[in-house]
Amino acid sequence: MVPAMVAQSSKREIAGDSSRTRPELPRRVDQMRILTWFQCHLTLVTLVVSVIVGAIVSGRELSSTGADDPVERQLGHIEVLILALPATAILLAITAALVRRGFAVAFPLVILCELAVLVDVGLALRAGVVLSIVTLLLVILGAWIVSNLVRREVWAFLLRSSRTSAN
């Protein structure tokens, strides 16, 4: 095959329309989108672990019925974490889709997502549901996403996309 034909055939096609192909994203934008999806999946892994830990903790016998019971307090922290994680995962998924389509609203959503991930990490630490490798990956991915977000290539893509969609 001719290299030009290989390059054209390697582009992803839009579902249902084989005559059009998706435009290639700039490298940093695509990297940020993929890292956001990966962070979404890690958040869901943390959710599954939190549910399992919550089931284990709720199976323990409570030593007292008072509000100062450490098991009851830990269970309350886990419940808050279980409520926060799906919201963060949904926000991450929506943001990754908006970055793919080049909407300018994706920029503040990425910042909001990374703040939500930091809150989730804090909640996980408080609840005692710490998977050191997953927590470390979430923090590293967040830093990587934010570092990509402040690059000129990403800014230019998002601003250019919002200007062309407004016209």
- With contact defined as beta carbons under 8 Å apart, do 117 and 87 qualify? no
- Fill in the amino acid letter for 111: I
Taking only the tens place, the pLDDT of each residue in 60-105 is: 765 555 556 777 888 888 899 999 999 999 999 999 999 988 888 9
Give the pLDDT of the chain (167 residues) as one tens digit per residue.
545 444 444 444 445 555 566 678 889 999 999 999 999 999 999 899 888 888 888 877 655 555 567 778 888 888 999 999 999 999 999 999 999 888 889 889 999 999 999 999 988 888 877 766 788 888 999 999 999 988 998 888 877 755 555 55
pLDDT for position 7: 45
Cα dist. 23→101, 114, 127, 143, 147 in Å? Answer: 10, 27, 44, 27, 24
The residue extents of the domains of the chain are 26-166
- Fill in the amino acid letter for 88: T
Q: Is the pTM of this model over 0.85?
A: no
